[in-house]
Amino acid sequence: MNLKIGVIKGDGIGPEIVTEAMKVLDKVAKRYGHNIEYRQLLMGGASIDVHGVPLTDETVAEAKSCDAVLMGSIGGNTSTSPWYKLEPSKRPEAGLLRIRKELNLFANLRPAILYDELKGACPLKEEITEGGFDLMIMRELTGGLYFGERKTEEVDGVMTAFDSLTYNENEIRRIAKRAFDIAMKRRKKVTSVDKANVLDSSRLWRKVVEEVAKDYPEVTLEHMLVDNSAMQLVKDPKQFDVILTENMFGDILSDEASMITGSIGMLASASLNETKFGLYEPSGGSAPDIAGQGIANPIATILSAAMMLRFSFDLDKEADAIEASVAKVLKDGYRTIDIMSEGKTQIGTARMGDEIAANI
């Protein structure tokens, strides 16, 4: 098979971790007889440095011509990096938001899994996490506060800022369907998170989600307020299967969910549109403080590449092979510093990539 993959190395640890994911993909290609064509795409700070903007029209077109995009991470230190002296629409993150919108990547999937081998790093007590947990956040990614109109202006001499939060029934329906589809392949439960006791957008959200639920009689639907959800994630993460929510709530809850696993360096994510196309990236950030040191954990990016093979190319066997290799490497006791614990073997970014590639 011919795979045309766009590669956004991005900023901070991005280039290091993406290099390892490509190493693993190359091994998969060799072993299973595929042909990969990579297209390097500049985005974020890396694009600002070259083009003065975080994403060019050419890069958008180039990304659209690919079958899928693998991304590292975007952004730098907001206090010290010169990128953050630019106006908001020119900063690194604006590139990420624009590509989500341009490619219509409305469905963001972020799994939060407690790996048995890494329980030690989980901040929650063992009585709460016993038996592990495995939840999937389905976050709407191209609507809501992120893409509403905004402005800052003087009103009667007082500086005033406005943001707006809009959702229409079609936007809600398509993401809800995705959540129920995924739930059907999992434990058949959807928890839809909103703030329906305050927001009109949440009340419409709830109504449309209930309509969609009728087409999935086997799936249990539950509604939960966002404030309660932030509590329940800490109190009893095992109660969740698929969490369906809008863009801003999803941003907050998916980060909370990844932190309660204790090993964010292990968590992949996918941003999908209506077709097979997707952008795949690790859940963690660009970690500028450790960039260039060769110590970042590449596993989340490698698992994102596995997600890409599965979702965008239907290469399940190949994705399984990557995931099995990651499991074996952990079992063999190899750890990057972020997941290191007593008695294990600490290795760097490149060596972790080597070990995972070697098993494939």
Ligand X SMILES: CC(C)[C@H](C(=O)O)[C@@H](O)C(=O)O
Q: Is 100 annotated for ligand binding?
A: yes
Q: Is 141 in the site for a copy of itself (CB under 8 A)?
A: no
Which of 85, 151, 185, 214 binds a copy of itself (CB under 8 A)? It is 151
Smaller CB separation from ligand X, 105 or 209: 105
CB of 246 to ligand X, least distance (A): 12
Calculate the alpha carbon distances from 236 to 118, 125, 128 in Å: 18, 11, 6
Which of 86, 248, 327, 340 binds a copy of itself (CB under 8 A)? It is 248
Calculate the alpha carbon distances from 229 to 35, 64, 134 in Å: 44, 36, 16
Q: Is 88 in the site for ligand X (CB under 6 A)?
A: no
* Helix or strand holding residue 205 (H, E): helix 200-213
Calculate the alpha carbon distances from 43 to 36, 81, 98, 125, 254 in Å: 21, 16, 10, 40, 23
Taking every pair of Cα atoms in the chain, the longest distance, rounded to a whole number of angstroms, is: 68
248: Cβ–Cβ under 8 A, 6 or more apart, which residues? 144, 145, 146, 165
CB of 282 to a copy of itself, least distance (A): 14
HEC string for 258-278: HHHHCCHHHCEEEEECCCCCE
Smaller CB separation from ligand X, 104 or 359: 104
Residues with a catalytic annotation lie at 146, 195, 227, 251, 255
CB of 250 to a copy of itself, least distance (A): 10
Say how far apart CA 324 and CA 310 lie, in whole Å: 14
Q: Is 93 in the site for ligand X (CB under 6 A)?
A: yes
Say how far apart CA 315 and CA 353 lie, in whole Å: 20
Which of 227, 274, 316, 320 binds a copy of itself (CB under 8 A)? It is 227
Q: Is 143 annotated for ligand binding?
A: no
208: Cβ–Cβ under 8 A, 6 or more apart, which residues? 169, 172, 173, 176
Which of 204, 213, 290, 337 binds a copy of itself (CB under 8 A)? It is 204
Which of 16, 251, 338, 355 binds a copy of itself (CB under 8 A)? It is 251
Q: Is 252 in the site for a copy of itself (CB under 8 A)?
A: yes
CB of 106 to a copy of itself, least distance (A): 15
Q: Check: CB of residue 152 under 8 Å from CB of residue 145.
A: no
Smaller CB separation from ligand X, 196 or 352: 196
Smaller CB separation from a copy of itself, 29 or 165: 165
Q: Is 200 in the site for a copy of itself (CB under 8 A)?
A: yes
Q: Is 125 in the site for a copy of itself (CB under 8 A)?
A: yes
Tell me 151's DSSP state: E
CB of 97 to ligand X, least distance (A): 6
Residues that bind ligand X (CB under 6 A): 75, 93, 96-97, 197-198, 227, 251
